[in-house]
Amino acid sequence: MTDTLTAVPTLPHWIGGAETPSSSDRTAPVYDPARGVVTKRVALASTQEVDAAVAAASAAFPGWRDTSIAKRQQVIFRFRELLNERKEELAAILTSEHGKVLSDALGEIARGLEIVELACGFPHLIKGEHSENVSTGVDVYSIKQPLGVVGIISPFNFPAMVPMWFFPIAIAAGNAVVLKPSEKDPSAANWMAALWAEAGLPAGVFNVVHGDKVAVDALLEHPDVRSISFVGSTPIAQYIYETAARTGKRVQALGGAKNHMLVLPDADLDLVADSAVNAGFGSAGERCMAVSVVVAVEPVADALIEKLTTRMATLRVGDGTRNPDMGPLVTGEHRDKVASYIDVAAADGASVVVDGRGVEVDGEADGFWLGPTLIDKVPTSSRVYQEEIFGPVLSIVRVASYEEGVALINSGRFGNGTAIFTNDGGAARRFQNEVEVGMIGINVPIPVPVGYFSFGGWKQSLFGANKAYGPAGFDFFTQEKAITSRWLDPSHGGINLGFPQNG
């Protein structure tokens, strides 16, 4: 593993419309996961650098807020056009730092574009309401205004899509943004910042500060930051939620997941096997909506395992630029942590059906490889079942009935996504009613809602009342004023100290 401080460039911040070299001497390595080498370093901002980004955003905010809806809309349409034209460039950046295969990187961008396209229609979504004559000669109406400077803190697994869950809507609604992307794959954020500049967004409306806990804490504590949108692991999400609430900010904090796929005996097992493999091993399992547990209602488990292993044997693991099925994990440290669960499984009495360690790869030997792994009869007391693994490890838990399966899913602390596979419409309907999870698939394994619905889980998968994007996104990035007005009708009722009533 190469890690020479001098040999590689350092990625700067993007503040006030231009690249801004860091004044802090702290940096972190950025790897090419398929080669296991450090390709660049990323600046880790000091509190003063975060202050500079917030100051740039604060200075840009009034002008952007007051820019007409028509002109704001033109900028967002232009951003959409540029992103669509150049998505291959961005996909290559994602593959080089995250490791996901190029086609998957393009899929991530397509789902981000969906939110940009939603934001193009923002004038309709930030309209207020108007009631005439609520009392004689009195009208009431509401207007939705931007919050001001908004902070976005994003995870490593979707370096383009997750920031795009938030910033197109925030910007359309008239806010100014400070984005703190993951330090593991930070270059996509600068690329998108440069695209905004090219699209005509005024300097300072979109800023990027790179960093770690120091930068996050500086955003959380800054009095001029009005809201925090966070996506990441549950312990950090909870910390963000509690800290932002204490500092008086609006906050939405999306956390981790452990998504179950419930398979009923009447399901089409070929569809189930295809779906479990796609959803369990796509992006090397580094998706918050990945399926990590198959809950097999007996007697389906043995037949399903046979179909799964047949498919898994065909999966090609390798360098994401060479068009394999699955790439490496994001860092060596993360790969080792994920692999360690295979030993835990064996020690806890589970049966390791396919062990992804030592997988044959089409890539450099030092890449952060771990092949698809299948573990059967996972005890629900095991850490393999209890914890979010976030890698290509699929567990099977066998249950005797639908009721036992649903009770198991509902006993979990996460509630991000789940799926049921069945040909029984009544069972599916009952499942959508009974399961305590925010996003549900019926014969669909990764039920990420389209842009005009909202994304978010229940329980420890989402802290705060607001989901991401869709109608909830526009609610989050605007604040409403209600105005009660009367225009001169010269009659008036004189002095009356009673509470106002309509009449």
Nearer to ligand NAD, 199 or 393 (CB): 393
Q: Which of 152, 237, 288, 290 is catalytic?
A: 288
Candidate list 264, 288, 350, 439; residue touching ligand NAD; CB under 6 A: 288
State the residue for tokens 């902070």: 151
> Hey, which residues does 245 pair with through a beta bridge?
none
Contacting ligand NAD within 361-380 (CB under 6 A): none
Cα end-to-end distance, the chain, whole Å: 77
> Hey, which residues does 315 pair with through a beta bridge?
none
- Residue 410 CB, nearest distance to ligand NAD (Å)? 18
For residues 147 and 328, give the distance between their C-alpha atoms in angstroms, rounded to a whole number. Answer: 40
Tell me if 464 contacts ligand NAD by CB under 6 A: no
Candidate list 97, 104, 185, 388; residue touching ligand NAD; CB under 6 A: 388
Q: Considering only CA atoms, which of 240, 174, 160, 180 is closest in space to residue 202?
A: 174
- Residue 497 CB, nearest distance to ligand NAD (Å)? 51
- Residue 298 CB, nearest distance to ligand NAD (Å)? 29
Nearer to ligand NAD, 240 or 308 (CB): 240
**Amino acid of residue 309:** T
Q: How many H helices and E strands in the chain?
A: 16, 25
State residue 23 phi and psi, 5-degree precision: -95, -5
Tell me if 189 contacts ligand NAD by CB under 6 A: no
Dmax over Cα atoms in the chain, in whole Å? 87
For residues 320 and 282, give the distance between their C-alpha atoms in angstroms, rounded to a whole number. Answer: 12
- Residue 332 CB, nearest distance to ligand NAD (Å)? 14
Tell me if 183 contacts ligand NAD by CB under 6 A: yes
> Shortest Cβ contact with ligand NAD: which residue?
232
Question: What is the DSSP code string of 225-277?
Answer: EEEEEEES-HHHHHHHHHHHHHTT-EEEEE----EEEEE-TTS-HHHHHHHHH
Q: Is 120 a catalytic residue?
A: no
Residue 14's region, left for phi above 0, alpha for psi from -120 to 50, else beta, is beta
Q: Considering only CA atoms, which of 391, 449, 456, 448 is closest in space to residue 100?
A: 391
- Residue 212 CB, nearest distance to ligand NAD (Å)? 5
- Indicate the helix (H) or strand (E) that contains 79: helix 69-85
DSSP 303: H
Candidate list 122, 156, 166, 341; residue touching ligand NAD; CB under 6 A: 156
Candidate list 17, 155, 391, 470; residue touching ligand NAD; CB under 6 A: 155
Hey, is 15 helix, strand or coil? strand
Binding-site size for ligand NAD (CB under 6 A) equals 27
Tell me if 324 contacts ligand NAD by CB under 6 A: no
Tell me if 390 contacts ligand NAD by CB under 6 A: yes
Contact between residue 455 and residue 113 where contact means Cβ atoms under 8 Å apart = no
Contacting ligand NAD within 211-270 (CB under 6 A): 212-213, 216, 231-233, 236, 254-257
Nearer to ligand NAD, 157 or 207 (CB): 157
Nearer to ligand NAD, 59 or 448 (CB): 448
Nearer to ligand NAD, 325 or 388 (CB): 388
Catalytic residue numbers?
Answer: 288
Binding site for ligand NAD (CB under 6 A): 153-158, 162, 180, 182-183, 212-213, 216, 231-233, 236, 254-257, 288, 388, 390, 416, 457, 461
